[in-house]
Structure 1
Amino acid sequence: MEERVKTSFIPKSSLKVERSETRSRNPLAIVNIITGALLVVAIFGAGGMYAFEKYTMQSIASKKLSLERSRAAFEPATIRELARLDARINTGYSLLRQHVSVSQLFDEIETRTLSSVRFNDFSYSIADASRVLLTASGEAVSFNAVALQSDAFSKSSIITEPIFSNVNISKTGTIVFNFSAIIDTSRIGYTGAAVPSSTQQ
């Protein structure tokens, strides 16, 4: 049986080369498209930033001009006078806040002192910015009166840490003692009101 030889006039090798060349060009085209798109976006972005910067500068200049006009509407001499007045008011308030009203302290002692107790030789010294040390001597009709007086002072919001010491019987039969306490100056300042006290009998 005779074998037939198949012949073809289509060059197979050349087709393979062309197909491979076509395939190799496709990635380059995609890269070119992406690059072009990024370039367009960058151009628009740069234009937007320039426009925004220009708008911002114009807005700042406009507000600065408005501020200068507002300042010019006030007289500089009046502004300086108001500033000096404000400084004086603040200084006066600071002095009043630090000043202690001794009259409020004596009112508290008078209100809290029992009729059966008498104090002598009051003195006080400043312990720190918020506390004053009060010392005194006194006498009472009995030991029970001293105990009641200690209880009365312990209820005060101004007289804190009351201490009765050296309690003895005098030659006349009365009870003598020494007294010390810490005064809360924040409660007796000119800017604060002392807490009302009930009268002790």
Structure 2
Amino acid sequence: MDQNIPTSFIPKKSLAVSSNLKSPNDGQKSIGIIFLISLIIFVGMIVLSIALFLYQQFLIQNLERKSDSLDRARAAFEPAIIQEIERLDSRMRSANQILSEHKAVSSFFSLLEANTLVSMQFENLNYETDEMGQAKVTMKGKAPSFSSVALQSDIFGENKFIHDPIFSNLNLDREGFIGFDFTATIDPRLTLYENLILGN
């Protein structure tokens, strides 16, 4: 018999697993991790979707409750009364605007009457108002003497509603009276109808 044939079937060298050989379970482990992550994400998305749906339903119900509450509160205030009050408010605002812009020239005539000397005579009067509401008065008149004109000028000059009173074109007429022209501006507050009513 040949002596090179081994008589024992037990290997003399140890069988070591080669490092570049992979176990059949390694591929399943990587697929298992990816599947687990995907499953977690999928379940998370389902839970998030359910939570968002429930939150949306909560918001819709809350909005409906508040809308019903607002409708009940609106009905409690009786819309017809509110509309009537709004119309009254509009009318009062309009009346207030008309009253604040209305001019009462009669207060100027009362001022003129109270501050004119008995001896003075006014023959004509022109009362004009500019865009700013400032009134300008021009008058022609006559007085018995120059001293009467000077005294009248002082009286008008001291009045807070008559601004820039000017007596001009003084001349002696045939009857012995002193003729004159008068110009002045009138404070707009004097002719406000509102002040006339309030007694200011």
What is the TM-score of this pair, normalised by structure 2? 0.59
Please give the alpha-carbon distance, in whole angstroms, between the structure 1 residues aligned to 2:75 and 2:177: 84
The alignment partner of 2:46 has SS state of helix
| Higher mean C-alpha deviation, range 61-70 or range 86-95 | 86-95
Paired residue for 1:164, among 163, 166, 182? 166
Structure 1 counterpart SS, 2:194: coil
Task: Give SS of 1:100's match.
Answer: coil
> What is aligned with 2:181?
177
The structure-2 alpha-carbon separation of the partners of 1:164 and 1:31, relative to structure 1 and needing over 3 Å to count, comes to farther
**Residue of 24, 36, 40 corresponding to 1:33:** 40
* Unmatched runs of 5 consecutive residues or more in structure 2: 1-12
Q: Distance in 2 between matches of 1:49 and 1:138?
A: 88
TM-score, with length taken from structure 1:
0.59
Does residue 1:190 correspond to 2:187, yes or no? no
Count of residue pairs the alignment pairs up:
182
Distance 1:85 1:20, change over 3 A: closer
- Tell me the distance in 1 between the aligned counterparts of 2:40 and 2:96: 75
SS of the equivalent of 1:57 reads: helix
> Structure 1 pair 29/82, CA: closer, same or farther in 2 (3 Å)?
closer
Q: What do residues 165-194 of structure 1 show as CA deviations (whole Å, max 9, x unaligned)?
A: 63334244747233132441x443232258
Aligned to 2:64: 57
1:87-106 residue pairs with structure 2 within 5 A?
92-106=95-109
Gaps of 5+ in 1: 1-5, 197-201
Q: What is the aligned-residue identity percentage?
A: 15
More deviation, 93-102/26-35: 26-35
Task: Indicate the residue corresponding to 1:131 in structure 2.
Answer: 134
Q: Matched residues in 1 for 2:32 and 2:87: separation? A: 82
Partner amino acid for 1:180? A
Partners of 2:172 and 2:179 within 8 A in 1:
yes
Post-superposition offset of 1:109? 3.4
SS in 2 for 1:191: helix
Q: Which has the larger radius of gyration?
A: 2
